[in-house]
Amino acid sequence: MSDERTGCPAGAESGPGTTGEDGFALRTCVPGDLADLREVCLRTGDLGADGTALTAWPDLVGDVYAAPYAVHDPALVTVVEHEGRVVGYVIGCRDTLAFEAWCEEHWWPPLRERYPRPGAGTRPFDAPLLRQVHERPAQARPHLVTHPAHLHVDLLPEAQGRGLGRRLLAHVVAQLLDAGAPGVHLGVGAANTRAVAVYRRLGFELLLDPAPDASSYVLGRSSAVASTDPSTGVAAPG
């Protein structure tokens, strides 16, 4: 499972410390963050732009791309907080197939009662999300053998351009590789050339040969690739 919606990384500069002088703090997710994660996911859901006007179900995109990770393994979800609000996050998943099996058993069943299958009148933004709720992945994904971990990162506009994207990425990649993942992958929109360039500078390479008209890429980084940024410390919940 990968995230092709993200407009991040935003701000490619390095960033010092757990809390910067500008008041943006990185900390581990806690249960009370779920609503904020859904909101950030929605407000960045349209290739980094606000997806609110595109959906019939404001919680849907967050119920697919954010909330299940925070419930499944909150230690791998780091949020950016500013003035008491969550304004961004990075999400890590150690084992994509194990996470999908957990979702099939624990997460999707109640959502299948809440959300319908996509139909003729379904909005284009919602249709792939509803399919993800109701259907198991069908295509072969050989890259999961070598790159079983994956990540998502999203930042609201007020958190962009401050080096937070790079800090979050460096932190979660270090977490995943330290946990023993041989590699990590992510999805990114082909039109998001800035993000693709930053991911490449961080050691991510194309894992699948894209079609000429591909709308997204799958990028991956192996544990054998040396980090280009030091991992930043993140405060654990008190």
Cα–Cα distances in Å, from 16 out to 38, 90, 129, 233?
Answer: 27, 17, 36, 9
Q: What does the domain layout of the chain look like in residue ranges?
A: 24-222
- DSSP codes, the chain: ------------S---SSB-TTSEEEEE--GGGHHHHHHHHHHTTBTTB--GGG-S-TTHHHHHHTHHHHHH-GGGEEEEEETTEEEEEEEEES-HHHHHHHIIIIIHHHHHHHSPPP-TT--TTTHHHHHHHHS---S--THHHH--EEEEEEE-GGGTTSSHHHHHHHHHHHHHHHTT-SEEEEEEETT-HHHHHHHHHTT-EESSPPPTT-SEEEEEEETTSPPSSPPPP-BPP-
Query: What residue ranges of the chain have pLDDT lower than 50?
Result: 1-17, 227-238
Instruction: Decide yes or no: CATH 3.90.1150.10 for domain 24-222.
Output: no
What pLDDT, on a 0 to 100 scale, did the predictor assign at position 194?
A: 80
**pTM for this prediction:** 0.85
What pLDDT, on a 0 to 100 scale, did the predictor assign at position 21?
A: 53
What pLDDT, on a 0 to 100 scale, did the predictor assign at position 20?
A: 61
